[in-house]
Amino acid sequence: MVRKLLPLLLLLGGCSSAPDVQLSCGIVSGYLEPPAAEHLYRVVVTHLNDKAVLSRPNFRLSPGVYRFTLAELIDDPRLKVALAARGAKYLDLKVEAGKRYHLAAQLYTDKPYVGNNPDYWQPKVWQEEAVECEPDVQN
């Protein structure tokens, strides 16, 4: 009986002594309200690496480069852009272990945006902070 269990015990022992690289992750968030005084507004993640996702407050991801497709939630009376021009935009982000990235839509206020001009906003990371996390990888 012991001889049959020995290979299994050796295998399990090797697993526990190996460094666990999967415990490192970063978090990408869209739940915080960015400062409107800086013309920043919330966004919704619609796709991650070109795959549709259900939007949620946090995406826990292994370190690496990810493509986020974002829709803006800009509520500003100066914005007179047609609904047809209010499309999604991409943000390619290098996620590092131990960091949280807060996403936002930067509204450009340098000129009036009307009609079908989609250049009125750009996605951006408006805040970074250190975090500890365990991965819930959804890529």
In a domain, 86, yes or no: yes
Beta-strand relationship, 80-81 and 114-115: parallel
In a domain, 94, yes or no: yes
Q: pLDDT grade, residue 83 (50/70/90)?
A: confident
In a domain, 66, yes or no: yes
In a domain, 27, yes or no: yes
- Checking if the pLDDT of 51 tops 60, the result is yes
Name which of 128, 122, 135, 124 is nearest 101 in CA terms.
128
Average pLDDT over residues 65-73: 96
In a domain, 82, yes or no: yes
pLDDT tens-digit readout, 105-125? 999 988 888 888 889 999 999
Residue 42: predicted pLDDT: 96
Residue 16: predicted pLDDT: 39
Average pLDDT over residues 80-106: 93
In a domain, 43, yes or no: yes
In order of 28, 47, 88, 111, the CA distances from 55 in angstroms are 12, 9, 14, 31
Domain residue limits at 51: 23-130
Q: What does the DSSP assignment read for the chain?
A: -HHHHHHHHHHHHHHHHS--GGG--EEEE--S---GGGTEE-EEEEEETTEE----SEEEE-SEEEEEEEEE----TT-EE-GGG---EEEEEEE-TTEEEEEEEEE--SS--EET-GGGEEEEEEEEEE---------
Number of independent structural domains in the chain: 1
Q: Which residues pair with 48 in a beta bridge?
A: 51, 68
In a domain, 109, yes or no: yes
In the chain, the percentage of residues whose pLDDT exceeds 70 is: 79
Residue-averaged pLDDT of the chain: 83
In a domain, 135, yes or no: no
